[in-house]
């Protein structure tokens, strides 16, 4: 691919992303319009005198035509202004930045679990196609598509926390360990490791491991399934025969040659599953009282705090689009065959 | 007995005739061949069994359930599973087995409503986009892009937040988030069919776009759509249960499985069965749909292995 055509496809990607983002904002804007909650009343309270009500209504631009309101909404959102949360009375954007590291931590540990178990499982299934190993991986995958994440979380709490006492219960940190370390990144595992507070680290790890394993199971199901089908395709290729004829050990053929060639498409799969974890994290965080973006969205939802709900939704959409775009670009860079 | 076996043999021979005499015979023969292939897949048969059982339970709920799903009896609170209460009782003394049985109706209703809304919309939008192409196609595909740019559950949550909790609104919210993949599939199928010779022939004999779309393109999209619908049902069930769990779907005292898990959550550590059993029901049913969908895919859509 020449530099020119690469630049052109880059422009195309940016254009597509911008359009999708615009559509996303249109959807959230329209959702905000159909809510049966009066936005003026939500801002001023129901005891405000009529002239205050009228002033706020004008300030919010609610007397203008719909397209103009959308334009105002657009300029606000693009400058990071999602309004204030009724529940926490902070700016929604500040709230989101405060809770986001917790979700990031959870999703990252979950993805690590999914990748480190899912890829080997997929390879083993592909090598033993049709045998019991393959069936086990297949069933694990099918079950992963059939279990509600919140129920698996509850069962995990029941077994590993209540019955076996192997892990810590709900929450992100034990009460005794809160606020012991300086927040640098907001990710407790990282912060405690940087500052060498290993007690805090152990406590945080004990809290994150169960919800991350629950979430990670779903990415494991997806990653192992995709790894399997990529590997089966690779193992049919002629270079594999060549490698075997050369006398390379089977282990080297499978884990170096074949797996090495599926890593690029797997990158897309991993990124996609990372983005999908955001969805699972909403319910997982609720079950585990994990103070992240998911819990923030559901809490705001239950108290009809629309600014916060829509702000959180936009945030998730942005991350989702961002990850997809990044993988797309990365894929083009790594694999010259991709157009 | 011999007469019976002769008739079944007669039917088999008629169905498997290499030169069918009528359109109906050809179609039934095709379906029979499909069934024979499907029957060879034990997992798919398990899935079919689960779904048939679900249908039977939902249809016969008043006769199967030993007690009312909503009648409370506080003297029977939180009883362990035993011979009279197979799945135990919940915090209001309601028989959990009866609630599960009645809950099957709610689950099936949600799934059926979503599918009835979503599949035709996806089919029409997708085939029209694929057939007409041009700006129409570009706009529709951008719209599906936007919807696919949200994780489904979160978009559904935002819709329910706007519409208010309740089972109808949950169905609407799920349907709004579920149609784009169907449109994509129907469009992809249409693109491969559009330039086929038989479409050109139909056009030359004077068939209008409407007739071509409805009579020739849509029937050919159906099989991949059916596969997708079956596989999607598990997803719909799980999202509906998630909404119920958050208190945004079916409202109490309705025996919706997700909501039952939510109320059993408070007793999880001491009365495990209250939250565990509805979850098992959800898993069983969605596993059933997944197995069935996998089996149907092998039969109806062999290219998408």
SS3 track for chain A: CCHHHHHHHHHHHHHHHHHHHHHHHHHHHHHHHHCCCCHHHHHHCCCCCHHHHHHHHHHCCCCCCHHHHHHHHHHHHHCCCCCECCCCCCEHHHHHHHHHHHHHHHHHHHHHHHHHHHHHHHHHHHHCCCCHHHHHHHHHHHHHCCCCHHHHHHHHHHHHHHHCCCCCCCCCCCHHHCCCCCCCCCCHHHHHHHCCCHHHHHHHHHHHHHHHHHHHHHHHHHHHHHHHHHHHHHHCCHHHHHHHHCCCCHHHHHHHHHHHHHHHHHHHHHHHHHHHHHHHHHHHHHHCCCCCHHHHHHHHHHCCCHHHHHHHHHHHHHHHHHHHHHHHHHHHHHCCCCC
CATH number of residue A120's parent domain: 1.10.3720.10
List of residues 6+ apart from B81 with CB closer than 8 A: B87, B88, B273
Say if residue A129 is in the same domain as residue A265: yes
A121 contact B CB<8A:
no
A275 contact B CB<8A:
yes
How many angstroms separate the Cα of A92 from the Cα of each of A83, A137, A147, A310, B154? 6, 42, 33, 9, 17
Residue numbers of A between 36 and 65 with CB closer than 8 Å to B: 36
- Nearest Cα residue in chain B from A143: B287
A86 within domain boundaries = no
Cis amide leading into B109 (omega within 30): no
List of residues 6+ apart from B249 with CB closer than 8 A: B160, B165, B166, B167, B170, B240, B241, B243, B256, B258, B259
Nearest Cα of chain A lies from the Cα of B45 at a distance, in angstroms, of 15
With a cut of 50, which residues of chain B have pLDDT below it?
1, 305
Say if residue A114 is in the same domain as residue A223: yes
Say if residue A108 is in the same domain as residue A250: yes
Asked if A20 lies within 8 A of B149 by C-beta distance, the reply is yes
- Of A78, A111, A141, the residue that ends a domain is A78
- Nearest Cα residue in chain A from B138: A16
A279 contacts on B by Cβ (under 8 Å): 151-154
Distance (Å, whole) CA B218 – CA B111: 22
**Structural domains of chain B sorted by starting position, each given as residue range(s) with its CATH number in brackets:** 1-40 (no CATH), 44-304 (1.10.3720.10)
B147 contacts on A by Cβ (under 8 Å): 27
Say if residue A310 is in the same domain as residue A187: yes
With a cut of 50, which residues of chain A have pLDDT below it?
1, 339
A60 within domain boundaries = yes
Say if residue A163 is in the same domain as residue A31: no
Give ipTM to 2 decimals.
Answer: 0.85
The answer to whether A258 and A243 have CB atoms below 8 angstroms apart is no
A279 contact B CB<8A:
yes
Residue numbers of B between 139 and 168 with CB closer than 8 Å to A: 142-143, 145-147, 149-155, 157-164
Provide the residue count of chain B. 305
Residue of B141, B148, B150, B287 for testing the chain A interface, max A β-carbons within 10 Å: B150
A152 within domain boundaries = yes
Say if residue A106 is in the same domain as residue A250: yes
Res B96: pLDDT: 86
Q: Give the domain extent around A38.
A: 3-78
Res A6: pLDDT: 67
A268 within domain boundaries = yes
Asked if A157 lies within 8 A of B161 by C-beta distance, the reply is no
Task: Give the residue among A267, A216, A257 at the shortest CA–CA distance from A235.
Answer: A257
A278 contact B CB<8A:
yes
- Nearest Cα residue in chain A from B151: A279
A145 contacts on B by Cβ (under 8 Å): 234-235, 286, 290
Say if residue A66 is in the same domain as residue A100: no
Res A75: pLDDT: 86
Say if residue A244 is in the same domain as residue A293: yes
B4 exposed, middle or buried (CB, 10 Å; 0-12, 13-18, 19+)?
Answer: exposed
Global pTM?
Answer: 0.86
Question: Which residues share a beta bridge with B95?
Answer: B89
Asked if B279 lies within 8 A of A148 by C-beta distance, the reply is yes
The string of pLDDT tens digits covering residues A261-284 is 888 888 888 988 888 888 888 899
A36 contacts on B by Cβ (under 8 Å): 164
- Both tokens assigned to A93: 């954007």
Say if residue A214 is in the same domain as residue A287: yes
A73 within domain boundaries = yes
A212 within domain boundaries = yes
B276 contacts on A by Cβ (under 8 Å): 154-155, 158
Res B56: pLDDT: 93
**Nearest 5°: phi and psi at A91?**
-70, 140
- Of A50, A78, A106, the residue that ends a domain is A78
Say if residue A71 is in the same domain as residue A97: no
Nearest Cα of chain B lies from the Cα of A34 at a distance, in angstroms, of 6
Q: Which of B161, B246, B247 sits opposite A309 (nearest CB)?
A: B161
A78 contact B CB<8A:
no
How many angstroms separate the Cα of B46 from the Cα of each of A136, A228, A267, B290, B296? 17, 24, 34, 11, 13
Asked if B161 lies within 8 A of A142 by C-beta distance, the reply is no
The answer to whether A174 and A168 have CB atoms below 8 angstroms apart is yes
How many angstroms separate the Cα of A15 from the Cα of each of A80, A336, B150? 21, 22, 18
Residue of A230, A279, A286 for testing the chain B interface, max B β-carbons within 10 Å: A279
Asked if B294 lies within 8 A of A316 by C-beta distance, the reply is no
Task: Give the residue among A117, A113, A155, A151 at the shortest CA–CA distance from A137.
Answer: A117
Q: What angle do CA A6, A9, A11 make, to 5 degrees?
A: 110
- Of A27, A45, A78, the residue that ends a domain is A78
Q: Which of B146, B247, B283 sits opposite A24 (nearest CB)?
A: B146
Distance (Å, whole) CA B187 – CA B128: 8
Q: Which of A28, A147, A320 sits opposite B158 (nearest CB)?
A: A28
Asked if B161 lies within 8 A of A19 by C-beta distance, the reply is no
The string of pLDDT tens digits covering residues A175-198 is 777 777 777 777 888 888 888 788
The end-to-end CA distance of chain B, in Å, is 42
Say if residue A56 is in the same domain as residue A167: no
Say if residue A233 is in the same domain as residue A138: yes
Asked if B158 lies within 8 A of A313 by C-beta distance, the reply is yes
Task: Give the residue among B77, B106, B101, B100 at the shortest CA–CA distance from B89.
Answer: B77
B294 contacts on A by Cβ (under 8 Å): 142
B240 contacts on A by Cβ (under 8 Å): none
User: Residue for token digits 């930045």?
Assistant: A97
Q: Which of A275, A297, A320 sits opposite B157 (nearest CB)?
A: A297
A109 contact B CB<8A:
no
A83 within domain boundaries = no
**Total number of domains in chain A:** 2
A52 within domain boundaries = yes
B163 contacts on A by Cβ (under 8 Å): 34
A16 contact B CB<8A:
yes
Res B78: pLDDT: 76
């Amino acid at each position: 691919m020449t530099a020119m055509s690469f630049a052109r496809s880059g422009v195309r990607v940016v254009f597509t992303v911008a359009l999708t983002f615009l559509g996303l904002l249109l959807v959230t804007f329209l959702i905000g319009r159909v809510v049966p909650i009066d936005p003026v009343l939500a801002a001023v309270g129901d005891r405000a005198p009529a002239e205050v009500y009228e002033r706020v209504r004008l300030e919010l631009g609610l007397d203008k035509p719909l397209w103009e309101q959308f334009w105002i909404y657009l300029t606000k959102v693009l400058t990071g202004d999602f309004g204030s949360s009724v529940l926490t009375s902070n700016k929604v954007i500040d709230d989101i930045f405060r809770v986001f590291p917790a979700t990031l931590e959870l999703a990252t540990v979950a993805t690590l679990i999914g990748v480190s178990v899912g890829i080997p499982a997929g390879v083993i299934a592909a090598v033993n196609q049709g045998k019991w190993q393959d069936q086990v991986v297949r069933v694990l995958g099918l079950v992963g598509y059939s279990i509600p994440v919140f129920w698996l979380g509850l069962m995990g709490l029941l077994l590993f926390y209540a019955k076996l006492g192997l892990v810590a219960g709900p929450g992100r940190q034990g009460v005794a360990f809160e606020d012991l370390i300086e927040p640098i990144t907001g990710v407790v595992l990282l912060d405690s490791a940087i500052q060498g507070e290993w007690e805090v680290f152990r406590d945080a790890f004990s809290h994150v491991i169960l919800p991350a394993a629950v979430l990670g199971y779903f990415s494991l199901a997806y990653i192992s399934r995709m790894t399997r089908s990529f590997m089966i395709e690779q193992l049919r290729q002629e270079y594999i025969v060549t490698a075997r004829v050369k006398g390379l050990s089977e282990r080297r053929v499978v884990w170096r040659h074949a797996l090495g060639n599926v890593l690029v498409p797997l990158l897309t799969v991993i990124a996609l599953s990372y983005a999908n974890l955001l969805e699972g994290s909403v319910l997982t965080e609720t079950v585990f009282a994990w103070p992240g973006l998911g819990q923030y969205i559901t809490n705001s939802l239950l108290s009809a705090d629309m600014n916060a709900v829509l702000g959180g939704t936009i945030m998730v959409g942005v991350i989702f689009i961002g990850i997809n775009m990044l993988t797309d670009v990365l894929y083009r860079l790594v694999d010259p065959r991709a157009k | 007995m011999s007469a019976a076996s002769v008739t079944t043999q007669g039917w088999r021979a008629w169905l498997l005739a290499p030169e069918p005499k009528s359109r109906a015979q050809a179609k039934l023969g095709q379906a029979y061949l499909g069934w024979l292939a499907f029957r060879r897949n034990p997992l798919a048969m398990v899935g079919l069994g689960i779904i048939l059982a679900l249908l039977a339970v939902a249809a016969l709920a008043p006769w199967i359930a030993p007690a009312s799903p909503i009648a409370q009896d506080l003297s029977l609170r939180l009883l362990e599973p035993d011979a009279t209460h197979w799945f135990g009782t919940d915090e209001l003394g309601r028989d959990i087995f009866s609630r599960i049985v009645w809950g099957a109706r709610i689950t099936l209703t949600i799934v059926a409503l979503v599918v009835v809304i979503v599949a035709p919309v996806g089919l029409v939008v997708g085939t029209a986009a694929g057939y007409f192409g041009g700006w129409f196609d570009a706009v529709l595909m951008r719209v599906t892009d936007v919807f696919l740019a949200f994780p489904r559950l979160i978009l559904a949550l935002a819709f329910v937040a706007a519409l208010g909790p309740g089972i109808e609104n949950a169905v609407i919210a799920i349907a709004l988030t579920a149609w784009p993949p169907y449109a994509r599939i129907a469009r992809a199928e249409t693109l491969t069919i559009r330039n086929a010779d038989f479409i050109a022939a139909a056009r030359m004999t004077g068939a209008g776009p409407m007739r071509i779309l409805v009579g020739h393109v849509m029937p050919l999209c159906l099989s991949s759509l059916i596969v997708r619908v079956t596989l999607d049902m598990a997803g719909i069930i799980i999202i509906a249960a998630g909404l119920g769990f958050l208190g945004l779907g079916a409202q109490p005292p309705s025996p919706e499985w997700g909501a039952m898990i939510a109320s059993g959550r408070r007793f999880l550590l001491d009365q495990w069965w209250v939250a565990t059993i509805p979850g098992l029901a959800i898993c069983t049913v969605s596993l059933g749909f997944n197995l069935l969908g996998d089996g149907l895919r092998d039969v109806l859509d062999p290219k998408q292995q």
